[in-house]
Amino acid sequence: MNRILITGAAGKIGSILREGLRGRYAVLRLSDIAPLDPARAGEEIVRANLADLAEVEGAMQGVDCVVHLGAIVGEETWDKVLPNNVVGTWNVFEAARRQGVRRVIYASSHHAVGFYRRARVIDQTVVPRPDSLYGVSKVFGEAVGRLFADKHGISVVCLRIGAVRDKPADRRLLHVWLSPRDAVQLVGCCIDAPDYHFIVVYGVSNNRRNRYRNAGIEFLGYRPQDDSEDYAADILRTPDSEDPISRQFHGGPYTQMGFDGDLARIE
């Protein structure tokens, strides 16, 4: 892998990867519609609107692997989610196919399975259970990744990313925290690993309270270094302000947004 494209490179995770992967590959090509700092040695800057297939295909030329982060992050209205997270993701995979890109690393989210109860440990075999429109868009992206792996032979990994923070800030994040250092390691492993067809990986650190199980991905070599438990004592000293619905599910606050269902029917 010589030329790596990062979409959404101006965002939080994109900025972390820009620094953490710098110098590891011949070229990091950075793309966003938001402003980016000028290119440094080994970097290229390409502006592309993900909703415009022609622009995305132009950014994809000569690329070996795409790390697709570009999206509206967090819950939003459908008119914003559709062009950015749905159409944009389709365009990334289709442009990759047209340009002969070998591998796509798709930033999915734990919100794709956010309506599983937090007491339950889940792995990659569970069916999607999105907690929001944002979660629905991530389920769509995983399905597109599966299609392009099976139909077009692109190597695809979907990362169900937890919460990337410098440190966890509340009780829920003790379960889903992904440190910046571990985020860089995880993406690097996905770029460098021997050939794989299609895999789903939970992107979390080595948290003692982790409720996700990554099965059968030992070949990636991902060995997270950080543990949210280092921050647990301080967090647990503060009052638990999480609302009664959120605290029951993996997706936390996303599950209670607009909720008018029946909790008793959600096993």
Catalytic positions = 134
The answer to whether 159 touches 190, Cβ cutoff 8 Å, is yes
CA–CA separation, 257 and 134 (whole Å): 12
The Cα-based distances of 246 to 203, 229, 264 in angstroms read 21, 21, 14
Cβ contacts of 169 within 8 Å, gap of 6 or more: 235
Residues 6+ apart with CB under 8 A from 242: 170, 171, 172, 252, 253
Degrees to nearest 5, angle at CA 59 with 71 and 90: 45
Q: Is the dihedral of CA 174, 228, 141, 47 positive or negative?
A: positive
The residues, ordered by sequence, that sit 6+ positions from 187 with a Cβ below 8 Å of its Cβ are 17, 21, 67, 105, 159
